[in-house]
Amino acid sequence: MNNLHILITGGASGIGLGVAETLGKKGARITISDISQENLEKGQAYLASVGIEARIEAADMSRVDDINAMVERLSDAPVDVVLNNAGLQYVAPLEEFPEDRWKLLIDVMLVGPAMLSRALMPSMRERGYGRIINLGSIHSLVASPYKSAYVAAKHGLIGFAKTVALETGDVDITANTICPSYVKTPLVEQQIAAQAKANNISEDEVIETIMLAPMPKKSFIDIEEIAETVAFLSSPAAKNITGQAITLDGGWTAR
Ligand SMILES: NC(=O)c1ccc[n+]([C@@H]2O[C@H](COP(=O)([O-])OP(=O)(O)OC[C@H]3O[C@@H](n4cnc5c(N)ncnc54)[C@H](O)[C@@H]3O)[C@@H](O)[C@H]2O)c1
């Protein structure tokens, strides 16, 4: 990864931590950011155990002042690639969806990525290189019931990246959204339990009849597949891939 500096939000867990490990092994300089300092320290210790020295930066992605303060702290090590990955889920029918949860999901997964990208772009522009990569979802492209805030935020990321692509045509900055279907992480383990409750079925039935049913490949996506996609999008070879949704969905949207 040519010593590129990548900032990964939501990097203390799941996909973010896995991408940090793969890209660190490929020679990227890694900063993981997350809401909990304690979890960041655990993530940093894990990465150290596999030979990766990572910087940690606590920031709440729903707070623009936190985001700006983090970018200010990172001015000694300009960011080449940002992976807007922090996320959370809340599952409820719209009529029962608490307003504060709906707003939080949009803040963390749409407003936060936009404000973080906004804060990083001047330095990317100055240095003539930048990669803005959003961790979207299959739910950037299709909907599932009871996930209105998540689906709205993830759809929004595609429009956001398309717009940034138009605004950065004059410089080697790209903006893209990776759209995986289900990956076995703590986020999905929680959803399996929540969907089981909402639909009154067992967790195995959720996996078989809801999660993997629309995927011809019938398997969860590996974090490694996402990490390799991030690595490619970060590379100079991907300079003309911009404003795109890169879909890793086991054929879900081929139907
Ligand atoms: N797991 C999947 O199946 C799947 C599929 C498609 C997309 N995604 C997306 O991938 C991303 C990572 O998800 P994951 O599955 O690794 O989940 P995860 O729960 O393991 O990790 C998400 C991380 O985001 C952090 N986070 C939550 N709120 C935050 C906030 N306000 N500020 C900063 N950090 C915050 C959490 O602390 C956590 O470390 C999410 O954006 C998710 O929507 C996941």
150 is catalytic: yes
In the chain, % of residues over pLDDT 90: 93
Kindly give the distance from the C-alpha atom of residue 108 to the centroid of ligand 1, in angstroms, as a whole number. Answer: 10
Is 211 inside any structural domain? no
187 lines ligand 1 (CB under 6 A): yes
CA–centroid distance, residue 192 to ligand 1 (Å): 15
User: Tell me, what's the pLDDT at 194?
Assistant: 85
Q: Identify whether 204 is part of a domain.
A: no
Distance from the alpha carbon of residue 60 to the mean position of ligand 1, in angstroms: 13
Is 106 part of a structural domain of the chain? yes
What is the per-residue pLDDT for 90? 94
Q: Is residue 206 part of a domain?
A: no
pTM above 0.75, yes or no: yes
**186 is a domain residue:** no
At residue 77, the pLDDT reads 97
Band of pLDDT at residue 38, cut at 50, 70 and 90? very high
For 116-135, how does the pLDDT look when each residue is reduced to its tens digit (9 = 90+)?
Answer: 999 999 999 999 999 999 99
Q: Is 21 domain-assigned?
A: yes
Look at the block and give the residue holding tokens 């890169």.
246
Instruction: Between 66 and 190, name the one with better pLDDT.
Output: 66
Average pLDDT on 52-56 reads 98
Reply yes or no on whether the pLDDT at 1 is more than 90. Answer: no
pLDDT tops 90 at residue 186: no
Domain count, the chain: 1
CATH of the domain at 134: 3.40.50.720
Residue 32 lies in a domain: yes
Report, as an integer, the average pLDDT of 92-112: 98
Q: Which of 90, 129, 146, 150 is catalytic?
A: 150
* Tens digits of residue pLDDT in 197-237: 988 999 999 999 988 999 999 999 999 999 999 999 999 99
Over residues 45-67, the mean pLDDT reads 98
Residue 225 is assigned to a structural domain of this protein: yes
In the predicted model, is pLDDT for residue 187 greater than 90? no
- What is the domain range of residue 234? 5-181+221-247
Q: Ligand 1 pocket, 252 CB below 6 A?
A: no
Selected residue with higher pLDDT from 86 and 210: 86
- Residue 195, pLDDT score: 84
